[in-house]
Structure 1
Amino acid sequence: MRVFGRIAVKFRYLVVLIWVGVTIVCVTFLPSLSSVLNSDNSAFLPSDSPSLHALQLDNPFQATGGATTLVVASRNDTQLSADDQTAFTTVLNSIKGVAHIKNVRDQGISSDGKAHKALLEFDIGTGSPDAENIINTIRAKFTSQNLPTGLSFNLTGQLASTVDNNKASADAQRLTQTLSNLAILIMLVLVYRAILAPILTLLAPVLVLILSGPVIAGLVTTGIIQASSVTQAILTILVLGAGTDYGLFLTLRMHEELRRGLTPHEAVIEAVDKVGESISFSAGTVIGAMLCLLLASFGIYRGLGPSLAIAIALMLLAALTFLPALLAIFGKWLFWPAKLKVGVVEKPGAWGQIAVKVVEHPIITLVLGIVAFGGLSIAVFGYSPAGFGGSNTGPSGYDSANGTAAIAAHYPPAVVNPTTVLLKFSDPVWSDLSKVQQAEQSLEKTPVFRSVSGPLNPNGTAITTAQLQSLYSQLGSPSTLAATPPASSQISAQTYNAYRAIAQFISPDGKTVAFYTTLSAGDPTSTPALNAVPSIRKSVSDIAGQVGAVDNGVNGMAAVGYDVSTASDNDLFRIVPIVMLLIALLLALVMRSLVAPIYLVLSVALSFGASFGIAVLIFMTFGGQSGLNFVLPFLMFVFLMALGEDYNILVMSRIREEAQKFSLHTAITDALNATGTTVTSAGLILAATFAVSGIFGATDQIRQLGTGIAIGVILDTFLVRTLLVPSVVALVGRWNWWPSALYRKQEVVERAMDLQAR
């Protein structure tokens, strides 16, 4: 650590120039993180998920491997005219030339004649950096055409909604980042009572945040990692919060060394030497916890882990090089206009006085803490998960949300956000349409479905099997038909359009049949719908057997949600013990002890239980929400376990440092007096950073996560780290340091104190 400090001081200007130069290069030549995010939870499922199997069955209707979106033309007052239909065809033809469009499938006119929609298939996924440009290009086609007055065109569905959600998230992210920076700066000014120190402390995490986004995005584009909409939000608050913590640890220790009479350069080197190890192991716990997520089966976790690990690794490097270089450049001016009192021993502050009480009454302190935290943890049993399916529409006010509203207004309910039932047969169903009729009737009678839309009622227009067979004989496969009926045809326009719409229900080869359904359990994004998925899949499997289908599947947000829930729960129970073990090992290294890590890890687990219980009370008991986002317990645990140990390491390292010179009780008092302000300041700043996301986050997911972690950090800072942990240290005595040499040294001190007492 001392070497890092000396290099940063000696080559201070070069170090700053290298960091700034590398950041400029990465921002210039690498994509932005927001351009590669993916908000589709199904894209992160394990390859053996039933939902992905259903997606393969759905391939004849919308090819897998690429995203889809919907073009909707509609009128609110009258039916679409011939000019409207011509305009729709013209727009579709112009769209076909847009890059990455693989296919355009006309899905027909609504039964009320006021809307017409088509499916666009792409050869890129929702996380492609080209997605936004493509969607903007298509929407520009709408405005460039001379459209009939009153005809509205909207782009909705998977890719368009993802782009709009990402844009809304980016807007909210900019607001969150601005407010976070402002909150951190104000709190740093209050802590330092100076002008330059707060700015430089914040400058390092801001630079790392600017740098880490393009670096992570570059890795995403190579396919090495995945990035969800959660990644960017968590990245911002984690880097700003943790980076400010590291800056506080370093800068306040430099201030302490300056008061001892060291020169600014000597103070920087001494500060890096004394707290560099604490910062390194603090970052190491976060990096280690994040890398454990590589073991997850759910791609959101597996992509989030390395992304955040990279960011914290860069933050650690900046804390040991870039920030010390800045501190060395500005020296004593850092703390202007406050006056440095060199050589003056300050009286014990509030935390020193509290430490005395804790040391005198450790049992009472510990028992009261455990009872309070245990009581709050009971609320965890009221937890119910939600938010599995992701967003099925664009944000309010955006084009994709308007498109979804247009489909809902003119098409059957099952078309808007369907749970799709897929049946595959060994032979084309055109030879025996009774199988299709039997399947549709059986699905309608099944209690798990509220409504069914299929080949016999496309877009709300009823067609008998006899009519369907006759139309097939006259016109051939519906997937090959032109937008208008042949001039010689006697078929009405309504019947012709209804038959063309069957292309979305019967595959071109006639072997796969799709049915759009709504669920009796409610909205497919709800928890009741998710819980109904096993029954839905069983019912579909039974019907498939009855009609002779060789394969079947259920596709949609409820099915995806259930598979996401299964993967997430499996990861939770598998990875949490690994994270606890890894952090315990890191703590054992920095503490040189096998005893201290046990209660340090348990203290954070207790803090997690209490903070999660409070989150349940806030959002479910008092907030009236049906559940908390499914990522909340997992990510709250990982982040609180990793971030909570930051303060554990700082406090315990200082206790260990003081215990080399004094008795344990004196060491606890001196350490809390020295670090109390640092820990509470850092904790308040970290909590404020997460709280900003809890208030201004773009989604319920981000708001709940920000609020939950902010609560956990506050509990950790003011109760666990400064009250419960010191009380345990006082009770355990010299065994805190077993089997290191300090254990034996403290034993000698205890004997001497015992003799003196006698």
Structure 2
Amino acid sequence: MRAWLERAVGVPGGRRGKWLVLVTWLIAVMALGALAGKLSEVQDTSANAFLPRGAESARVNTELEKFRTDDLTSAVVVYSGHDALSEQARSKVQADRAAFVKIAAEGRQVPPAVASEDGKALMVVVPLPGKEQSVVADKIAELRRIADAHAPPGLDAKVGGPAGSLADAFTVFDNLDGTLMMATGLIVVVLLLLTYRSPVLWLFPALAVGFASVLTQAGTYLLAKEAGLQVDPQSSGVLMVLVFGVGTDYALLLIARYREELHRNADRHTAMQAALRRSGPAVLASAGTVAIGLACLAFADINSSRSMGLVGVIGVLCGFLAMVTILPALLVIAGRWVFWPLVPREGAPARATRPVWERVGRIVAARPRASWITSLAVTGALALGALGLNMGLSQTDWFANKPESVVAQEKLSQHFPSGSADPATIIVKTPDASEAVRAARGTKGVVAVSTVGRTPDGTLTQLAAVLPGTPDSAAAQHTVEALRQRVDGLVGGTAAQTLDKENAASRDLDVVVPLVLLVVLLVLVWLLRALVAPLVLLATVVVSYFAALGASNLLFDHVMGYPGVDWTVPLLGFVFLVALGIDYNIFLMHRVKQETARHGHTRGILTGLSSTGGVISSAGLVLAATFAVFAGLPLVAMAQMGFVVCIGVLIDTFLVRTIMVPALALDLGPRFWAPGRLSESRTAAVAQASEPERRHTLENV
């Protein structure tokens, strides 16, 4: 395996291999480019895409397909005022209802308007044709235009219901991938320009990431179409950010090592091959750790979490492949001039880029125990912010800016029984329908029960139960639990979906989190050939996660004004931060291990810190900035996940990896590498040296 890897890493930097790699990538991109643009065609936007697999509410959605002889989606138009509606307002509603008939599904009537008990609102339900989001969005736009036109003073008209929610979701997700890609690409380019201070060099990692994105989108599309891989708009959006983030991280590490080797070698091909040999294992271990960590989400129950994990694996692997093949080939083909104006020359001293990290290393080495205790106190104080974490977002809180469908639901809740526009759905066998109606009506909290219809073969009957409170309220969820106990059938609808999602989120945390920790620990043990070091590194990443969660919660409460945290954020934030956070520890400790084998424990840690400090900090800034793109999205759950990952990466990069990890390693001494070989012999001798000798070692560093 080692011999095969040696030959493999020599290809992109070889005199002939670089051209082979370039031609192969160009052919692949031209062949797959058309498929990359089709990813949106295989995205699953159904309600089940965001529900737990096998959940009762998801089974109800599946059973409902048996009732439909045609595809219909209901829009609910709510007309309301501060006082009882005037005759002029009622005439406007009647005229609108007549106009809605032309928009409704062919052959379907628009039922008469339903008045609220307080006389201040009227509700019109319009059956619309089709389930296609773009078609429904067009119909909703027409309804809103009619409802808004010529409204008398004091009459407010809002269009919502299932069709309104579908249309607003389409507006949010439409072109989401393109928007995220453009924003992320712009951020990466700016940061690369600031990092390299070269008008040329930034172009090469940007090109490599572009190659990786095409391969990622095409591969995801093919797996979704041919192998049934589930892709939803949320995972598709995260996919591109992940490719840009991790791809640029790997590029920064490789280019930094390549620059070092150019100072040692006259031939750029030899320099690139040496850079790949020496940095390749760290990049491979990093990509493998992130991929395996994300793959653990395959054991989650919530479909969207599982989709994000599996789709993310594709992105990480494609990003890794591009950075160790096409990027080295492009750099070697271009030559040294790409570093202009700071072109590295053989034998010339490297540009002094490490004084900051050398000073940090000296400070940490002078008082290692005080350093890690102080950093632990800071992260612990931030983690305290998570104690007041309020879990769960109501349906009206899903969007940063309330779309019209959410406002319509609020209006309905003010004037009608809150669940009347979105009742619970009960599916029962037709012979049991009468008993099910009696049981449902006798359930505490049920406002009303009605029969909606039967399947064409008459075997199943659909009931609608109006629940108290909004569909995602605690009262509605308690009523759903009671219905499931009393009714011999399946209970679904929005309230049931919220309940099932919350239960699954708790279960996923209990299952996936220990699995991720175990997998990452095994990878670190294999990489470092030790046990103490992996345990310490894993503990620091967990500390970083809780600090990020606490800091984010303080931000959500006091700055952003979010009423709660989406149920999926703690799990997804944990997986991303542990997988990506361990990235930088791998970059650092792989170099530290090399230097420790040469110079001993203390000098090895300090040299590794000073050598990797700049590149890892740059990589952390890039990754944090790419996830910060989510903060500007109108979807609160995605914005919250972006905040958690962004803050966590910054904490891990500038506090945990810079101070806590080196300080712990220095305080533990060679025991840090136990039971590996580095904990013995020369390393131990350096650790046991007298204080003057240790001071001399620090001065040499």
Structure-2-length-normalised TM-score: 0.83
Summarize the alignment of residues 476-515 of structure 1 with structure 2, pairs less than 5 Å apart. 504=452, 512=461, 514-515=463-464
When residues 392 and 292 of structure 1 are mapped into structure 2, their CA distance, relative to the original with a 3 A threshold, is closer
Q: Does the CA contact (< 8 Å) of 1:156 and 1:394 recur in 2? A: no
- After TM superposition, the structure 1 stretch with the greater mean CA deviation from structure 2, 202-211 or 652-661, is 202-211
Aligned to 1:344: 349
Supply the distance in 1 between the matched residues of 2:400 and 2:68 (Cα, whole angstroms): 20
Per-residue CA distance 1:339-360 (angstroms, 9 max, x = gap)? 4364315555110111012112
Q: Which amino acid aligns with 1:362?
A: P
When residues 421 and 726 of structure 1 are mapped into structure 2, their CA distance, relative to the original with a 3 A threshold, is same
Q: Does the CA contact (< 8 Å) of 2:77 and 2:124 recur in 1? A: yes
CA shift, 1:513, in A, is 6.1
Per-residue CA distance 1:401-432 (angstroms, 9 max, x = gap)? 79979989998753433344667663665xx9
Aligned to 1:360: 366
When residues 72 and 563 of structure 1 are mapped into structure 2, their CA distance, relative to the original with a 3 A threshold, is closer
CA shift, 1:599, in A, is 0.5
Q: Work out whether 1:517 is the aligned partner of 2:454.
A: no
Q: Does the CA contact (< 8 Å) of 2:358 and 2:610 recur in 1? A: yes
Supply the distance in 2 between the matched residues of 1:293 and 1:561 (Cα, whole angstroms): 20
Aligned to 1:741: 677
Summarize the alignment of residues 148-159 of structure 1 with structure 2, pairs less than 5 Å apart. 158=162
Q: Does the CA contact (< 8 Å) of 1:176 and 1:697 recur in 2? A: no
Of the three residues 702, 709, 713, the one matched with 2:645 is 709
When residues 84 and 634 of structure 1 are mapped into structure 2, their CA distance, relative to the original with a 3 A threshold, is closer
CA shift, 1:555, in A, is 2.5
Aligned to 1:572: 509
Supply the distance in 2 between the matched residues of 1:730 and 1:352 (Cα, whole angstroms): 15
Supply the distance in 1 between the matched residues of 2:356 and 2:328 (Cα, whole angstroms): 29
Per-residue CA distance 1:112-152 (angstroms, 9 max, x = gap)? 69876454686x8xxxxxx3565478789999xx99x989x
Summarize the alignment of residues 445-456 of structure 1 with structure 2, pairs less than 5 Å apart. 446=444, 448=445, 452=447, 454-455=449-450
Supply the distance in 2 between the matched residues of 1:158 and 1:218 (Cα, whole angstroms): 31
CA shift, 1:657, in A, is 0.9
Q: Which amino acid aligns with 1:352?
A: E
Q: Does the CA contact (< 8 Å) of 1:647 and 1:721 recur in 2? A: yes
Supply the distance in 2 between the matched residues of 1:514 and 1:228 (Cα, whole angstroms): 30
- Identity score, percent: 27
Aligned to 1:177: 181
CA shift, 1:363, in A, is 0.3
Summarize the alignment of residues 534-553 of structure 1 with structure 2, pairs less than 5 Å apart. 535-540=478-483, 551-553=488-490
Of the three residues 234, 237, 241, the one matched with 1:233 is 237
Instruction: Give SS of 2:609's match.
Output: helix
Aligned to 1:490: none
Q: Does the CA contact (< 8 Å) of 1:454 and 1:505 recur in 2? A: no
CA shift, 1:646, in A, is 1.2
Supply the distance in 1 between the matched residues of 2:291 and 2:674 (Cα, whole angstroms): 26
Q: Which amino acid aligns with 2:637?
A: Q
Aligned to 1:464: none
Q: Does the CA contact (< 8 Å) of 2:143 and 2:159 recur in 1? A: no
Structure 1 spans left out of the alignment, 5+ residues: 97-103, 125-130, 456-502, 545-549
Q: Does the CA contact (< 8 Å) of 2:114 and 2:124 recur in 1? A: no
Aligned to 1:547: none
- After TM superposition, the structure 1 stretch with the greater mean CA deviation from structure 2, 204-213 or 383-392, is 383-392
Supply the distance in 1 between the matched residues of 2:397 and 2:215 (Cα, whole angstroms): 29
Supply the distance in 2 between the matched residues of 1:226 and 1:624 (Cα, whole angstroms): 33
Aligned to 1:292: 296
Highest RCO, 1 vs 2 (Cα 8 Å, sep ≥ 6): 1
CA shift, 1:109, in A, is 2.6
Q: Work out whether 1:587 is the aligned partner of 2:530.
A: no
Instruction: Give SS of 1:616's match.
Output: helix
Per-residue CA distance 1:31-51 (angstroms, 9 max, x = gap)? 633333345554444454232
Q: Does the CA contact (< 8 Å) of 2:53 and 2:301 recur in 1? A: no
Supply the distance in 1 between the matched residues of 2:71 and 2:601 (Cα, whole angstroms): 63
Instruction: Give SS of 1:736's match.
Output: helix
Instruction: Give SS of 1:358's match.
Output: helix
CA root-mean-square deviation: 4.1
Structure 2 spans left out of the alignment, 5+ residues: 80-87, 116-120, 152-156, 695-701
- After TM superposition, the structure 1 stretch with the greater mean CA deviation from structure 2, 183-192 or 605-614, is 183-192
CA shift, 1:376, in A, is 1.5
CA shift, 1:74, in A, is 9.5
CA shift, 1:574, in A, is 0.9
Q: Does the CA contact (< 8 Å) of 2:184 and 2:626 recur in 1? A: yes
Q: Does the CA contact (< 8 Å) of 2:140 and 2:164 recur in 1? A: no
Q: Work out whether 1:188 is the aligned partner of 2:188.
A: no
CA shift, 1:734, in A, is 1.9
Instruction: Give SS of 1:176's match.
Output: helix
Supply the distance in 1 between the matched residues of 2:397 and 2:213 (Cα, whole angstroms): 26
Q: Which amino acid aligns with 1:524?
A: P
Supply the distance in 2 between the matched residues of 1:299 and 1:627 (Cα, whole angstroms): 22
When residues 428 and 595 of structure 1 are mapped into structure 2, their CA distance, relative to the original with a 3 A threshold, is closer
Q: Which amino acid aligns with 2:642?
A: G
Q: Which amino acid aligns with 1:517?
A: V
Q: Work out whether 1:218 is the aligned partner of 2:213.
A: no
Instruction: Give SS of 1:212's match.
Output: helix
Of the three residues 604, 614, 621, the one matched with 1:684 is 621
Instruction: Give SS of 1:385's match.
Output: coil
Of the three residues 731, 735, 740, the one matched with 2:667 is 731
Q: Work out whether 1:28 is the aligned partner of 2:31.
A: no
Q: Does the CA contact (< 8 Å) of 1:282 and 1:646 recur in 2? A: yes
Of the three residues 372, 381, 384, the one matched with 1:375 is 381
Supply the distance in 2 between the matched residues of 1:217 and 1:390 (Cα, whole angstroms): 32
Instruction: Give SS of 1:340's match.
Output: coil
Supply the distance in 2 between the matched residues of 1:284 and 1:162 (Cα, whole angstroms): 38
When residues 716 and 536 of structure 1 are mapped into structure 2, their CA distance, relative to the original with a 3 A threshold, is same
- After TM superposition, the structure 1 stretch with the greater mean CA deviation from structure 2, 200-209 or 603-612, is 200-209
Of the three residues 338, 347, 372, the one matched with 1:334 is 338
Aligned to 2:112: 109
Summarize the alignment of residues 29-428 of structure 1 with structure 2, pairs less than 5 Å apart. 29=35, 32-52=38-58, 54-55=60-61, 68-70=72-74, 77=89, 79=91, 108-111=111-114, 117-119=125-127, 131-132=132-133, 135=136, 158=162, 161-162=165-166, 164-222=168-226, 224-340=228-344, 342-344=347-349, 348-387=354-393, 413-420=418-425, 426=431
Per-residue CA distance 1:728-757 (angstroms, 9 max, x = gap)? 111222223333333334346438845995
Q: Which amino acid aligns with 2:315?
A: A
Supply the distance in 1 between the matched residues of 2:409 and 2:471 (Cα, whole angstroms): 15
When residues 708 and 393 of structure 1 are mapped into structure 2, their CA distance, relative to the original with a 3 A threshold, is closer
Q: Does the CA contact (< 8 Å) of 2:398 and 2:635 recur in 1? A: no
Per-residue CA distance 1:512-570 (angstroms, 9 max, x = gap)? 463342433xx333xxx2x445631354367x5xxxxx625543222211111111111
CA shift, 1:393, in A, is 9.9
Q: Does the CA contact (< 8 Å) of 1:290 and 1:306 recur in 2? A: yes
Structure-1-length-normalised TM-score: 0.78
Supply the distance in 1 between the matched residues of 2:483 and 2:637 (Cα, whole angstroms): 32
Aligned to 1:610: 547
When residues 37 and 154 of structure 1 are mapped into structure 2, their CA distance, relative to the original with a 3 A threshold, is farther
Supply the distance in 1 between the matched residues of 2:270 and 2:604 (Cα, whole angstroms): 25
When residues 623 and 141 of structure 1 are mapped into structure 2, their CA distance, relative to the original with a 3 A threshold, is closer
Supply the distance in 1 between the matched residues of 2:532 and 2:186 (Cα, whole angstroms): 41
CA shift, 1:230, in A, is 2.0
Q: Does the CA contact (< 8 Å) of 1:12 and 1:328 recur in 2? A: yes
Q: Does the CA contact (< 8 Å) of 2:133 and 2:166 recur in 1? A: no
Q: Does the CA contact (< 8 Å) of 2:669 and 2:687 recur in 1? A: no
Q: Which amino acid aligns with 2:372?
A: L
Aligned to 2:698: none
When residues 68 and 328 of structure 1 are mapped into structure 2, their CA distance, relative to the original with a 3 A threshold, is farther
Q: Does the CA contact (< 8 Å) of 1:387 and 1:628 recur in 2? A: yes
Per-residue CA distance 1:573-614 (angstroms, 9 max, x = gap)? 111111111111111111121221100110100000100001
